[in-house]
Structure 1
């Protein structure tokens, strides 16, 4: 049997009864759109982050885009973020008419290099968008200090870091707003698309609810400001509500697998993940580095083990963003990482025998390089 970098099948078998009950509950409720399940999940997710409001939306990309709009970011504004991220982070900035401005990342953590933020700020800068990559947090104390110094909004991209903490504080609770994706691969994943924005500010939350619902206040059916059809589905909300109660179990399993990998590869020449001081990593991905990446991945695939690269093409090098003028050579650390990084299989139900097989095959390959 092959080993995939991610799979939900064993988790589904273990949780099947509860998940099917969730679907049945929604279908029997008489409310298929913006009903009890969405409201219950929003309340639980907001409470988990100790913030006032959660607004469920259809996916993580729109969570970012609607959050930017609700924070009054739009045409003529600049948003500072990173290129070492999934393209949707930058697509969302572009979708609101703003201009993404990239800063480089730290080589050891691959997270935003916060020391470069202040020099990237211009008179057009409106928002800082740190990406909590792979399951751990950017230095939010430093991000918030720059935001305070220059009067900027802070939008956290938490798509890869559900439940992660920094100095005891949960990610998503540091900035003015935070966007989440519940794509199936995520630490908290739905069985389809889903997303959410969490905020403390009641007015911003009200704006978000209108934006996800055509721009309407749902009590009056009158468009105040044109919006979108970006609602979180009732079925996915009910599934997420039930999975939310198991989030700490998922995180514990991921950390155990990461610890096993750490111990097994400690003596090798594989570049292992570095956890920044004060961070509690949730290991959405277990990302390693090696200059012979392509050969390693080829041989692992031959052994029936699929690995992944997150991300092989930094966003600033993509043709769709060539107009930004930050081409090859502008972000040397990001570009160097893109040539070496790859992910090992990581999901809560990855069995111990499969973990051992990944380790044995990779150690064998490393020894022969």
Structure 2
């Protein structure tokens, strides 16, 4: 029976254990450029089998929060190269999460102060982060405009270019498409945010089209074995909902099964909240079965609210990887702490977003 600490293969990625650091936005990259502190932060956590970076914008248009990193400029790629070098020097593996926020943005963050973009011109009832007088401040998102179908190939190309730059220039071991949590690809998937009447709206096949086109383009650029994708079937994060998520996501994973991906990363329940939502039941085992029966061989990664006993049980029951989020913020040596059943540091919530080393690189490790 495999354990949480056994090695595992995820596509082309040979991982030392099954513990994954989930993507965690920290708002510490001014001008969207990762810096030396970023490199220290990730290197401290390199004992994870796999590090997934904080969500990283594929284009200026894809940017939705102040001081989050990007992948679309030379200085950004140079900054990330410092990070991957630091992680690899510690023997770690790291992939970058490719992000387009869609409507979850603000005109102050968009090129030339333009409107954010979305499948349909429906505002997200959620907030984003701007820096006001040096302080991270939550503000309402701006009203988006609906993307014209002629703009979508450019967005697909931006995913592909970001993936290629991430692997070939910045030195990442792979990439993860962010198809979850109410951002652009998820906005297209779900009926609550997609009211289109063209080839990208209406039917399940149409709503899934952009996500699948972007994934194929990324696979063409870096290979399926270096590509993962994150999905969140029922999370209410960022004001997304689908009328019937089970057939939608079973269709999506059956299509993804043909692409020989490294892994599928599933958020179970409400992101950062309850693992089960009373009015949004979902059968995750049926989802995994649909993927496997369609020929999907990638690792199956589970996420949301996992502790050591729950993670042990997941691995015993056939999940390949378990992603931990907030515990990795406060515990750079989380793998050791889990192995030794040691107590965990608590997260300092006041320093989660923005700032410097405090609450970022200064959490204590075991002696």
Instruction: State the TM-score, normalizing by the size of structure 2.
Output: 0.27
Normalised by the length of structure 1, the TM-score is 0.27
* Structure with a larger share of its residues in helix: 1
Query: Larger relative CO (CA 8 A, sep 6+): 1 or 2?
Result: 1
The structure with the larger Rg is 1
